[in-house]
Amino acid sequence: MRKHKAVITETVRASVPALIITVLDNEARVLDTALAEQLGMARPRDIRATIEANRDELESFGVLRSETAKPTGPLGGRPSVGFYLNRQQALLVCILSKTEKAKAVRAEVIRRFDAYEELTRPASTVVRNQRANQLHQVGARGAVVGR
């Protein structure tokens, strides 16, 4: 039974697009509907009601970046406004969403933003951190550090 459950979990994860970091004005952000899909919302655009209802609090963590998307389908339609959320805003929206997946998605948001920051950190800082980690690991094993 356990194996079957794991397969279902992997299938569900595979059907949800990855949370992609988008850089706008040199700041890492995630698209609101991508976050909503990760949260398991049946209608990802519904997350925008949560964002609008909590706009003041979200703006206390930085500019609430929005962009208007024009429909590209053959039938046209009304333009929609999408929000690009920074790390703090994305985490707050996860909390406010109150979905079953919110805890796991918060962890994913943190991992994705941390990975982005690691990739964009100046090389000297990365090398220094790697060296510190190596020294810490050596010291944790009881070896003499500094020889």
Contact 90, 30 (CB under 8 A): yes
Measured from the Cβ of residue 9, the count of other Cβ atoms closer than 10 Å reads: 10
pTM: 0.69
C-alpha span between 15 and 33 (Å, rounded): 15
Output 92 or 131, whichever has higher pLDDT. 92
Interval 31-55: pLDDT, tens = 999 999 999 998 999 899 999 999 9
